[in-house]
Amino acid sequence: MEQAAHNNHIDNRDPRSVLTIKYKIYIVVLIIAMAVTRGYMQASAEKHTATKESIRNLENAKMQKEAEYDQVVKDLIVVRDINAQKGAVVTCLSTRGCSNLPESLKTVVPQTRAFLQLQKNEGEKMAFDQKKILANINEYLLRGANNQSNGTVTSIVFGNLAPVTDYENIVQVPIQLTIDFQDKNGLLSFVYNVENTISPQFPMLYKISSVNYDIVKYQENQTVSIELIGYMLK
C-alpha cells in the first residue's frame, strides 16, 4: 500500500525537474571529464609542438649531413682519381706550368698537392726526418725553373715538432730560413715552389707564415727571413 503510494508520487513528479537534474549531472560529468584530462591535453599539445620543432631541426641537420656526405663522396672520387693516375699527377705537379692534369683534378689542384705532400716523416732517433726536409729545401725550394739556384740559404732554424690544433693526425714544425736573393725573381721563384709545385723525391707540405722582404728594394740583392711551417702526418 505504502509502496504503491510512493510509485504514484514518482509518476506524478514534474518531468522537467527530472530532466533538469539529468542535464545538470551530464554537464558536471562532462566538465569533470574535461578538467581531469586537461593536464594530459596540455602535455600532449606541448609534445606536439616540441616534436614539430625537433623535426625542423632534424630537417636542417639532414640537409647539412647530405651536403657533408655529397662532399665526402666527391672527395673519395678525387682520392680515387689521384691514386689511379698518381705517376702522371706527380709529374705534372712537379713541372712548372703543367696543365695536363686529369679533368676531375683541375678544380682541386691545391688539395691534390696537399694530399701528395702530406706524408709521414718519422726520423730514426730524431723527432722527424730532417734529412728529407733539408733535401727538400736545398734541392727543391731553392731551385728555379731551369734548375738553377734561386737563392742562397744562410741559416735554417728548426722549431719543436708540435701537434696541429684540431688535426689529430697532423704535426707541424716551424722552420725559419734566411736566404739571400739576387732580386725579386729569386724570392718569387722560391714562393712559387712552396705554393704551386711539389717535389717528387722529397714531398713536403709547407705554409709560409711570414716573409720579411723590403719591396722597395725589389731590384736589389736582399737577405730575406722566411718563416715556414712544415706539416707531416703523425
Please report whether residue 94 would count as binding other proteins according to CB under 8 A: no
Q: Which stretch binds other proteins (CB under 8 A): 33-41, 128-136, 138-146, 174-182?
A: 33-41
Q: How far apart are CA 46 and CA 228, in angstroms?
A: 57
Q: Which residues pair with 224 in a beta bridge?
A: 179
Q: Which stretch binds other proteins (CB under 8 A): 91-99, 123-131, 142-150, 167-175?
A: 167-175
Please report whether residue 167 would count as binding other proteins according to CB under 8 A: yes
How is residue 166 annotated by DSSP? T
Q: How far apart are CA 8 and CA 12, in angstroms?
A: 6
Residues 122, 139, 195, 220: which binds other proteins (CB under 8 A)? 195
Residues 78, 93, 101, 142: which binds other proteins (CB under 8 A)? 78
Residue 157: CB partners within 8 Å, gap ≥ 6?
Answer: 175, 176
Residues 47, 96, 106, 131: which binds other proteins (CB under 8 A)? 47
Q: Which residues pair with 120 in a beta bridge?
A: 233
Q: How far apart are CA 211 and CA 204, in angstroms?
A: 19
Q: How far apart are CA 78 and CA 93, in angstroms?
A: 15
Please report whether residue 31 would count as binding other proteins according to CB under 8 A: yes
* Residue position matching grid coordinates 689511379: 84
* Residue position matching grid coordinates 616540441: 50
Residue 96: closest CA among 189, 1, 223, 187:
189
Judged by CB under 8 A, the chain residues 105 through 134 that form the site for other proteins are 110-111, 114-115, 117-118
Please report whether residue 97 would count as binding other proteins according to CB under 8 A: no
Please report whether residue 215 would count as binding other proteins according to CB under 8 A: yes
> How far apart are CB 70 and other proteins at their closest, in Å?
10
Q: How far apart are CA 144 and CA 190, in angstroms?
A: 7
The secondary element (H helix, E strand) that includes residue 226 is: strand 222-233
> How many residues line the site for other proteins (CB under 8 A)?
67
What residue ranges bind other proteins (CB under 8 A)?
15-16, 18-20, 22-24, 26-27, 30-31, 33-34, 37, 41, 44-45, 47-48, 51-52, 54-55, 58-59, 61-62, 65-66, 68-69, 72, 75-76, 78-79, 82-83, 110-111, 114-115, 117-118, 164, 167, 169-170, 184, 187-188, 191-192, 194-196, 205, 207-208, 211, 213, 215-216, 218, 231, 233
